[in-house]
Structure 1
Amino acid sequence: MPLLLLTNDDGVDAPGLRALARELERLGRVVIIAPERDNSAASHSLTMRRPLHVRELEPDIYAIDGTPADCVMIGLNKILPVRPDLVVSGINPGPNLGDDINYSGTVSAAREGTLLQIPSLAVSLGAANGEECLYAVAAGQAAELAGRVLEKGLAPDTLLNINVPNRPADQLQGVRYTRQGRRLYENAIQETFDPWGRRHYWIGGGTPRWSEQPETDVQAVLAGYVSVTPLHLDMTNHQALASLRNGRARGGEIG
């Protein structure tokens, strides 16, 4: 029976995590190892300045007072009896598209699994703030893709970033294999004042500005498709590398 490590960045009690666990249990044994509290936008941070505490809440469900990447690292090296066949992170109650993947704890947990040479998936739901999250739909789509990965594997050093539109199953248009787009935010820093008149800044929110480039994760989800983007651990700009080695600059820039 396959062994699956399931984590997230929203905390061990998050409804998206539990919905995904129910679907993945059709594929094998699921062990949840997740942060004990919300770690949204934690990116790939590791906790290195204090010890980490692991609590077994019930059989095959563990909470760690650390980040999503901590959970995968400790899960693989200290909790699980054998290496898992798959690492799955999610379901995040909001999309992780374009530039979001640089900040996402959901994606970073899957990246940590990939660094440890385990096939890994990150799963997010394209729900807007205040919108009811159709977790069961996203969980079903994720489980189907997880089954394919268990059967066929993934390319080396590659993880899948999956984004499911927040629609009923019969309104999904299908699956598209996409590239990373751009999703930028305007006015994402809010200026506030406390009762004593001191200025503070709050990062978050803002108005998203979507990429209009074709074949991207952003455009696929907007069109009602499940977006599956293969992300590689190698972040080298190979075109720029070739230019640097050849002593060439293009358009006034190196690259």
Structure 2
Amino acid sequence: MKKRGIFAVLAAAVLCSPVVLTSSASASGPGATVPTRPLRILLTNDDGWRGPGGSGTPLIAALRDALRTAGHHVVVVAPGTDQSGQGGRISLPPLQLTVASPEPEVWTVTPGSPSDSVFFAFDEIFANQKPDLVISGINPGNNLGQAANHSGTVNAALTALEFGVPAVAVSLETPGTWQEGTAAAAKNSAGYIVDLVRRLETRSRNGTLIPRGVGLNVNYPVLAGPVDPATGKPGSVLPPRGVRSTTLDTNLFANFDYKPTSGSAGQPGIYTIGLTLGGEPAVAGTDTRAIQDGFVSVTPLEADRDVDGSTQGWLRGIL
């Protein structure tokens, strides 16, 4: 599908979607929206399902609870350990995976990757009937720009597209010095996803939630309210300023540098990895810029990685 067509469908389904502002308006609150029809949803992530009731991974637990409260049938299949930044890694024979079910309709795959979890879910849990939708997240920390290439959260969603099932990856901004803000925004971001799913249902074409081969990468901002003099921290989380349909930021999301701790630079030895995150204002229309401006970013991603006809013509001219 041409990019223009993808964005047209996305805009129709998403851009009018209201942002969940308060717990009373969230999908898990008294004013919960009713889905057009209950969906069978596979929920996964790259952080795993850890602790009783997902207490060690509260964001995926919050999203599961919100989707269930909205009436959907949700099955969690996630790594048994933290698999952040694993991209689309898969485990190959003769490796073995340990599968556990710590509670009803929750499965963990250890030491499986996010993609392993999706492959296992389709082969074993959903062997007789595919889910209607796969959602990956909520990830603590945004997956913007080129980081999407390396994100376990995003690649779990892209793996689902290989099975012809629509998928959404969800990430939440996590201010390092204000953990309370992330916790406060978790419920609202889960509520936004519930509402997004409802809108995808309402505007689906021939029962298709998202155009075939297309997934959505959702990033949700955390906006701080006025500082509370008593604590020195923001006293509230402000609602996002709206929703933007975006493209991936093409700037490097991070700068890596490698410093030798033994031997000389550029020679064999042991190197310490340094990481500096990008912080420059991004180009308008990109996912990074949307988050910088305080908007929810929704970026359509295609499962296939081939290119359009003009590039094919260039290649044929060389070959």
Aligned pair 1:61/2:106, yes or no? yes
Give the structure with higher Rg (CA): 2
CA distance in 2, matches of 1:37, 1:130: 25
Aligned pair 1:103/2:150, yes or no? yes
Q: How does 1:173-212 map to 2 (within 5 A)?
A: 173-185=241-253, 187-189=255-257, 191=259, 193=261, 199-202=270-273, 205-210=275-280, 212=282
CA distance in 1, matches of 2:120, 2:254: 37
- Deviation (angstroms), 1:208: 1.2
- Deviation (angstroms), 1:130: 4.1
Letter in 2 for 1:75: A
CA distance in 1, matches of 2:178, 2:131: 34
Q: Which of 46, 49, 61 matches 1:9?
A: 46
Q: Which moved more, 1:15-24 or 1:160-169?
A: 160-169
- Deviation (angstroms), 1:235: 2.0
Q: Which residue in the other structure is 2:35 paired with?
A: none
Mapped contact 1:87–1:119 kept (Cα < 8 A):
yes
CA distance in 2, matches of 1:209, 1:215: 17
Q: How does 1:65-84 map to 2 (within 5 A)?
A: 65=110, 66-80=112-126, 82-84=129-131
CA distance in 2, matches of 1:119, 1:138: 20
Letter in 2 for 1:149: L
Letter in 1 for 2:270: R
- Deviation (angstroms), 1:182: 2.5
Cα root mean square deviation, aligned = 2.2
Q: Which residue in the other structure is 2:198 paired with?
A: 147
Q: Which residue in the other structure is 1:19 paired with?
A: 62
Aligned pair 1:218/2:265, yes or no? no
Q: Deviations over 1:1-47 (max 9, x none)?
A: 32111000011121111011111111411111100011011000111
CA distance in 1, matches of 2:222, 2:164: 31
| Alignment: residue pair count | 244
Q: What percent of counterpart residues are identical?
A: 32
The 3 A distance-change label for structure 1 pair 24 and 52 is same
CA distance in 2, matches of 1:57, 1:130: 32
Q: Deviations over 1:210-234 (max 9, x none)?
A: 4632211111111111111010122
CA distance in 1, matches of 2:152, 2:63: 17
Q: Which residue in the other structure is 2:165 paired with?
A: 118
Q: Which residue in the other structure is 2:141 paired with?
A: 94
Q: TM-score, normalised by structure 2?
A: 0.71
Residue 297 of structure 2 aligns to a residue in which SS? strand
Q: Which residue in the other structure is 1:253 paired with?
A: none
Letter in 2 for 1:93: P
Letter in 2 for 1:38: D
- Deviation (angstroms), 1:191: 3.4
CA distance in 2, matches of 1:186, 1:162: 20
- List alignment gaps of at least 5 residues for structure 2: 1-37, 51-56, 224-235, 263-268
Aligned pair 1:138/2:189, yes or no? yes
The 3 A distance-change label for structure 1 pair 233 and 186 is closer
Q: Which of 67, 91, 95 matches 1:47?
A: 91
Q: TM-score, normalised by structure 1?
A: 0.88
- Deviation (angstroms), 1:190: 5.2
Aligned pair 1:161/2:217, yes or no? yes
Larger RCO, structure (CA 8 Å, separation 6 or more): 2
Q: Deviations over 1:110-169 (max 9, x none)?
A: 001111111100000122334321211211111211222344211110000000001367
Letter in 2 for 1:16: L
- Deviation (angstroms), 1:242: 2.2
Mapped contact 1:182–1:211 kept (Cα < 8 A):
no
Q: Which residue in the other structure is 1:251 paired with?
A: none
